[in-house]
Amino acid sequence: MIQSYKKKYELADAYDTIIIGSGMGSLATAAILSKEGQKVLVLERHYTAGGYTHIFKRRGYEWDVGIHYIGEVGRDKSLTKKIFDYVSDGQLKWADMGDVYDRVVIGDKIYDFPKGAENLKAMLKQEFPSEEVAIDKYFDLVFSAVKAGRTFFMEKALPPLMSKMTGGMMRKDFLKYSRKTTLETIRELTQNEELIKVLTAQYGDYGLPPSKSSFAMHAALVRHYFSGGYFPIGGSSQIVETIDPVIEKAGGTILTNAEVKEIVIEKNRAVGVQMQDGEVFKAPKIISGAGIQTTYQKMIPSELVKKHKLDQQLQKITPSVAHICLYVGLNGSPEELNMPKANYWIYPKEGTHDENVAKFIKDIDNPFPVVYVSFPAAKDPDWSNRYPGKSTVDIITLMPYEEFAEWEGTRWKKRGEDYEAKKEKLSQRLLETLYEREPQMRGKVDMYELSTPLSTKNFVNYEKGEIYGIDHTPDRFELKFLRAHTPIKNLYLTGQDIVTVGVGGALAAGLITAAAITKKNLTNKVLKATY
């Protein structure tokens, strides 16, 4: 059972590894190390475990925070599915979202993204018949970039000396794709602005519009969903619920309400962590899955940050986008409300994604550059068993942190009337966007609550409310220090910052960090395991 640091809890006499944070990367690392015989202590500052995979409940509803759909888990042989099976002992089950996973709306025009790369290609060719050659080349590039990524990401598990010797070779192919932006790459194939807008319609999944994102990130993301979208049966909480027993079986523990204040470093070696209340836990290996910026800025004494040149690393990275999310509770089951399973990506008719983002950042009274609508209640076949006669919707758009910075330092739920008024105005705009697409939901809304970048900072400890860790620009993929090893002995990183955003990215980071620690190639073991 997951225990709380605030209540009476039981610990093992000693742990082999301490992991800071309980996001997907941390949980995967913990479970894989547990299967290698290690006792792992996972320390999570929030009152609930899971990082962005956590859920929260209000007034008889439940919402997922950072999971709307996962790709590749419908294919038994995919590495993503294999790792999920491995870390949950095959207990985590997935529901298929059906034939269409994303519904892109540009003005009044709708483009449904169907499951299967060939089906998606066919849809695009039907909509853009004069662009057949460009579309074929685009798919080839996506597949090539993803293939080149295999060795690029594997390299991140190598110890520094081996990385110096073989790293260049392993990274080289991928860099051909990552060094160009998404827009540069696609513009070499087509000048059709509507097609570009459709091909890059999922940019919100990695947070940067086409002129700023690396094509390699774009390729990884779109490829991830080619085989459809899936949702955890029983909701996102099933991720931590099914992984916890694997950690506990080996003698490990997950503790919530357990905020690490500082990583204890003696003679240039990480030897433990100090908690906010002064308590110290020691272990031979320390891993942080709390994000590279949070770890280096908040948990390492400043003189050591300088000494190990971590400040120079921090100068090279930029935080990703922040967001607002309207969590809506509705009267009526998903069937009664005729709720779709596919996610909406709703865009203004005019302007490119880049132009619309720039306009919105300048003045948030301009149209939302993107509105993403997800219907978790419709995706989870177990939902109505838990919440009969009710449904939920999440409505998201990006939001500069600065828009809410003036309330920094105020307390959750006590930020004042101006803050609430700003939230209410944004909430109504988001609700109207929902009603335009799904008018039958008007009058059915029972409650709603808007999260802001300050909520993200409060609950997940990302300083600027960033939802995707560090930005996925071409420069990011040049940074060799985004890897499992750190310059401090026995201190390792895991999570989205060392691979890419996404539950799949963080999950892969778990395998990478566990491989770095055990010095074993664990991929074969994971691929061969059956459940």
Ligand X SMILES: Cc1cc2nc3c(=O)[nH]c(=O)nc-3n(C[C@H](O)[C@H](O)[C@H](O)COP(=O)(O)OP(=O)(O)OC[C@H]3O[C@@H](n4cnc5c(N)ncnc54)[C@H](O)[C@@H]3O)c2cc1C
- Interacting residues toward ligand X by CB under 6 A: 20-26, 43-46, 51-53, 66-70, 259-260, 289-291, 294, 323, 325, 396, 460-461, 467-468, 495-496, 501-504, 506
Minimum distance from residue 189 beta carbon to ligand X (Å): 27
In the complex with ligand X, the residue whose CB is nearer, 87 or 460, is 460
> For ligand X, which residue has the nearest CB?
23
In the complex with ligand X, the residue whose CB is nearer, 461 or 518, is 461
Minimum distance from residue 322 beta carbon to ligand X (Å): 9
Decide: helix, strand or coil at residue 102: strand
Cα gap 227→41, rounded to integer Å: 35
For the sheet with 260-266, list strands across it.
260-266, 269-275, 280-282
CB within 8 Å of 413: residues ≥ 6 apart: none
Decide: helix, strand or coil at residue 269: strand
Cα gap 283→64, rounded to integer Å: 33
CB 360 within 8 A of CB 366: yes
In the complex with ligand X, the residue whose CB is nearer, 348 or 502, is 502
Cα gap 504→495, rounded to integer Å: 10
- Enclosing H/E stretch for 218: helix 215-226
In the complex with ligand X, the residue whose CB is nearer, 261 or 307, is 261
In the complex with ligand X, the residue whose CB is nearer, 207 or 474, is 207
Percent helix, strand, coil in the chain, to 5, is: 45, 20, 35
Virtual torsion, Cα 206, 508, 393, 462, nearest 10 deg? -60
Q: Which residues pair with 326 in a beta bridge?
A: 395, 450
Cα gap 362→365, rounded to integer Å: 9
In the complex with ligand X, the residue whose CB is nearer, 134 or 260, is 260
Print burial letters for 448-460: b (CB count within 10 Å at least 16), e (below 16): bbbbbbbbbbebb
Helical H runs in 208-329?
A: 215-226, 237-249, 292-298, 302-307, 310-315
In the complex with ligand X, the residue whose CB is nearer, 86 or 180, is 86
In the complex with ligand X, the residue whose CB is nearer, 180 or 218, is 218
Minimum distance from residue 257 beta carbon to ligand X (Å): 10
Minimum distance from residue 69 beta carbon to ligand X (Å): 5
Cα–Cα distances in angstroms (integers) from residue 510 to residues 24, 203, 506, 526, in the given order? 8, 24, 6, 12
- Burial of 418 from C-beta contacts in 10 A (0-12 / 13-18 / 19+): exposed
DSSP 16: S
Cα gap 257→3, rounded to integer Å: 9
Minimum distance from residue 381 beta carbon to ligand X (Å): 18
In the complex with ligand X, the residue whose CB is nearer, 208 or 460, is 460
Task: Name residue, tokens 């990215």.
Answer: 505
Minimum distance from residue 453 beta carbon to ligand X (Å): 11
Minimum distance from residue 188 beta carbon to ligand X (Å): 28
Question: In which region does residue 261 sit, left (phi positive, over 0), alpha (psi from -120 to 50) or beta (all else)?
Answer: alpha
Print burial letters for 156-169: b (CB count within 10 Å at least 16), e (below 16): bbbeeeebeeebee
In the complex with ligand X, the residue whose CB is nearer, 135 or 263, is 263
Minimum distance from residue 299 beta carbon to ligand X (Å): 6
Minimum distance from residue 461 beta carbon to ligand X (Å): 4
Minimum distance from residue 404 beta carbon to ligand X (Å): 16
CB 264 within 8 A of CB 52: no
Minimum distance from residue 46 beta carbon to ligand X (Å): 4
Q: Which residues pair with 396 in a beta bridge?
A: 325, 372
In the complex with ligand X, the residue whose CB is nearer, 134 or 460, is 460
In the complex with ligand X, the residue whose CB is nearer, 31 or 189, is 31
Minimum distance from residue 325 beta carbon to ligand X (Å): 6
Minimum distance from residue 205 beta carbon to ligand X (Å): 7
Cα gap 457→301, rounded to integer Å: 21
In the complex with ligand X, the residue whose CB is nearer, 85 or 131, is 85
Q: What pairing do the DSSP bridges indicate for beta strands 109-114 and 100-106?
A: antiparallel
Query: Could you count the other beta carbons within 10 Å of the beta carbon of residue 112?
Result: 14
